[in-house]
Amino acid sequence: MILQSLDRIVSAYCPQAHVRLTVANVTDTARTLERNHLCGPIAGLVQAEFVGGAALLGTLLDAPGQTISLRAQLPEGELGGVTVECAYGYGIRGYTRQKVLPRLDESEEPDETLFDRAIGHSTHCSVVRSDARRVVSQATFDLSFADRLTATDIVEDYFNGSLQRRALVQLSAASKLGYVECAHALLCELLPEASDETYDRLDACFASGAVQDALDAGADVAALARLLGLDPPEGETSHPVRFFCSCTSDRVLAMLRALPRQDLMEMIAAGKSTDIFCHMCGKCYTITPEQLKTLL
């Protein structure tokens, strides 16, 4: 059990290069979801990368009650799809459509090959930002690659395509003994004043794999700025990131209250407790026949 999470998201600005860096450590959150959903090694790792993406999307929220969700359908991948959500204040939850992939989990092929088979080469995505009353914005887009598709591609395409913000993204997760060992994310956003030469240099550094290696090693904002050849970052802000799901036993009972009366009576007559799992966080709620009687 994680007693105190070390997950945080840190942002700072490099004024000379006109670049804002945001780095997130979501290791504990990814581990919690992996455990709650009883994920196999591959599903747990893919989910961990998307959790990092959810943290970066959370930087777009600016008021309590707001949430932003990313849903990626993966028609060619064995995983089927991934959904993650970040609430204002960086509370994250999510799930993969398939939790265990026996053919991949037991394979000794390289991780990149297994990821390709789990995700596939194409996706249909939707990103929905909402508050307590309504949908604020919604974007849908399709991606297809001949070589390989990654969670990084999906989040980066949303920032560049849907939001028209020039940005580079790196999501990274690693495992040890079949469990998530670390999960990090980096958003490198170039403001309009940033030069094309700066973008090309940063893009080359991301493409080389050096950024992913630094994230896996736990590099902070200052270290990443040095790696990218940027001036020292200023105005650092930091916020905790945590696993959070809004499901409660009261909400489960409210859902059951909507069932036909006959169905409730049959469940009560069976004399057995009913286990209901939240698909977003994996938590199990055990509803007794006595609780069901109160709904009548």
- Position 1 scores a pLDDT of 45
Over residues 197-204, the mean pLDDT reads 97
Cβ–Cβ < 8 Å for 62, 53: no
- CA nearest 98: which of 53, 46, 35, 142? 46
pLDDT tens-digit map of 72-100: 999 999 999 999 999 999 999 999 999 99
- Measured distance CA(44)–CA(141) in Å, rounded: 25
pLDDT tens-digit map of 251-274: 888 888 888 989 888 888 988 898
% pLDDT > 90, the chain: 75
Over residues 180-209, the mean pLDDT reads 97
| End-to-end C-alpha distance for the chain, whole angstroms | 38
pLDDT tens-digit map of 119-161: 999 999 999 999 988 899 999 999 999 888 999 999 999 999 9
Higher pLDDT, 275 or 189: 189
Sign of the Cα pseudo-torsion (281, 286, 289, 293, in order): negative
- Sheet of 19-25: strand order equals 167-176, 179-190, 19-25, 8-14, 234-240
Torsion on CA atoms 32, 220, 189, 34, rounded to nearest 10: -10
* Cα three-residue angle 188-194-196, rounded to 5 degrees: 95
- Measured distance CA(19)–CA(199) in Å, rounded: 10
